[in-house]
Each structure stands twice: as C-alpha cells, then as structure tokens.
Amino acid sequence: MTGPRRRTVLAAGLTSAAAGLTGCSDPAPPPVQTAPSVLTGNPVVVAPVRRAAVLTAYDVTAAELAAPLSALEERLRGTAATIAVGASLFDGRFPIDRPRLLSEMPAFRADVPDPQWCHGDLLVQAVADDLEQLRGPARPSVPGLRRRWSIEGSHPSAPGPGIRNAFGFQEGLGNPDAADRQLMGDLIWVQPGDGEPAWCTGGTYQVVRLIQMAMPTWDSDPVAEQERVIGRYKDTGAPLSGQRQTDEPDLDGEAIAVDAHIRLANPRTPDSMAHRILRHGYTYRLSAENTGQIFICYQRDVEKGFTTIQRRLAGEAMERYLLPFGGGYFFVLPPAGVRALIG
C-alpha cells in the first residue's frame, strides 16, 4: 500500500480534526418525485444485512461479453449475490450503454488510493451468514475474466446489541427502512424517466470504499471522545441529544458536535433527506495491522447520494482515524441480470 506518511500520521493520531471543515449546505427544496413504477431490484440490496460478504472485482479480458458474463451468472446461481459493472467496462470495447452517472471513483481529499484495490470492470458481491459458506462459490474463476481484487468481510463479535463495526459502534441506525418498497423506489432503484439507458431501470448505483481504521488510536481514546466523534452513544446507539436509538438527532442543540459524523453525514435538510443512501458495512482484516471497514452503499443517484455526503464529511472528527485506500463506483444490474445488459 502506498501512503506510508499518512499511515504514520494516522498511527500517531496527529491530524487536525477540524481542518477543512466544510459545514452544511444550504437547505434546498426536495426534488419533485413522480410516483415510481419500479419498486424492486436485486433483493440482496434491500434484504437485512447478512453476517459475511466477499467482494471480488474482475476485468474482462475476452473480446465479447456474453459468454463470460453468462458463465459468471451461472456460477453464482444459488448464492445470494449482486453483479455490478464499473465505468471501465464502457470504454468502447463493447457495444453497451453506460449508466449516465457511472464514472471512475475519484480520490477524495483524505484518500490514499492503492491501484491494486481500486475499480474493476465488474464487481461481484456474495453474502451469507457465514464466511465458510462463501469460500467456494463467492469468487468463481471464469474464462475471459481476470480477478483484480477480492476482500472478505464479516461482523466482529462485540459487546452490546445490534451489528457493530470495528470501532464498537452500532451500524445502520440512520439507514432508511429497506423494507419500505415505496421508499426504496424513491431512494435506491433507478426509475424510467431518470435519463438512464433503458437497461438500467431497476438497477442501483453501488459505492464501495475500503477504509483502514486506526484501531490503536481509537481504542486508546476515552469512550466519551469516541461518542463525540460519531454523535451517538456507544452502548445504546442513541443520538447524544436523546435517550433511545430511535430518537431523531437534535441538530439545533449543542449535544452533537459540529464535526460529528452523523451530523455531517446527514444534516437533515430537505435535500439530504431526499438523497439518503442505504449502507451496509463489514469489517475486513487483511493483517494484524490492517483492519477496517468495507463500506458499501446504494443509491439511485450517486452524485446526490454518496459523492455529496463524502464531500460533506471532509474535515469530520473521524477523519484522523481513517485511511480510505480502495473500492470503486459500480452499477448493480437490475433483476433481469446479465440479460438486461447484453440482451
């Protein structure tokens, strides 16, 4: 991995948490939503998050797509999986239309991208309740596809209820309700009329971020400081302005710091509420020194969703504990799967 200087800084925990704080954007009116006609997509996206995931990025080496993609889909049959396409697949090698908003993930200001862990023509995500179940089927070898990177994630066993990340905090509390089909139609699934190629309807933009976490620094900080950084209590998950995890965070008061993660991630303006994202997180462990988060999120509009949030997080208090080094922007195929793309 590149970026030893930043790693040293991370280990020492010396970066200024407040530097570059951008603050919240002005409230904007919500976009006019017409009644969505597509309320379903790949069920893995909206199903309750499973305990384990394997993500594998591939590049296409074949001269045509039909055979390798069909073979990939066939090999994944019986596994809960998503197949997604990356921007590089649309570089002119194949006669297919690029999702309108699909681009190569840029490097954000705190990123230290490692090319070995970034992008890919395709991304396969396989999920299950146990990593063992994924060892065989999750990263199939297919003629015409070359594996680019692959990573396993699961949920660490941690004290307290709910799914916890490596920092020991509950995951997913601020997520929109994935069981609400109408809401998922509004926020997640591409709709006819979105200006996308027809084949994209019912698909969704998937962002993956591989984020190394400075565990020794985090673990040596008092819990009260960790809670200030996130904006929620570590044991209950309640916002620092409330008692229950279902309490709506009060962003007018002072309980939640201006650079707290949940405040910047969702300032609860009409615009930020209209472009909420659906997040799934897994903890990876590449070595004793390199543990972190596989951050995955889904949205109907990647620019108004992830990209806007990530820019707003610049300068957040958590930044000094994080080293984003990999991942990419992808588009999950609609329910028709590979046929949607290649006919």
Which residues of this chain interact with ligand HEM, rule CB under 6 A? 165, 167, 169-174, 209, 211, 213, 230, 232, 261-262, 265-266, 277, 279, 293, 295, 306, 309-310, 313, 322
CB closer to ligand HEM out of 141 and 220 = 220
Q: Nearest approach, Cβ of 2 to ligand HEM (angstroms)?
A: 19
CB closest to ligand HEM, residue no? 174
CB closer to ligand HEM out of 49 and 142 = 49
Q: Nearest approach, Cβ of 281 to ligand HEM (angstroms)?
A: 7
Q: Nearest approach, Cβ of 145 to ligand HEM (angstroms)?
A: 28
CB closer to ligand HEM out of 44 and 211 = 211
Q: Nearest approach, Cβ of 310 to ligand HEM (angstroms)?
A: 4
CB closer to ligand HEM out of 65 and 213 = 213
CB closer to ligand HEM out of 127 and 213 = 213
**3-state SS, one letter per residue, for the chain:** CCCHHHHHHHHHCCCCCCCCCCCCCCCCCCCCCCCCCCCCCCHHHHCCCCCEEEEEEEEECCCCCHHHHHHHHHHCCCCEEEEEEEHHHHCCCCCCCCCCCCCCCCCCCCCCCCHHHECCCEEEEEEECCHHHHCCCCCCCCCCEEEEEEEEEECCCCCCCCCECCCCCECCCCCCCCCCHHHHHHHCCCCCCCCCCHHHCCCEEEEEEEEEECHHHHHHCCHHHHHHHHCECCCCCCECCCCCCCCCCCCCCCCCCCCCHHHHHCCCCHHHHHCCCEEEEEEEECCCCCEEEEEEEEECCCHHHHHHHHHHCCCCHHHHHEEEEEEEEEEECCCCCHHHHHC
Q: Nearest approach, Cβ of 322 to ligand HEM (angstroms)?
A: 5
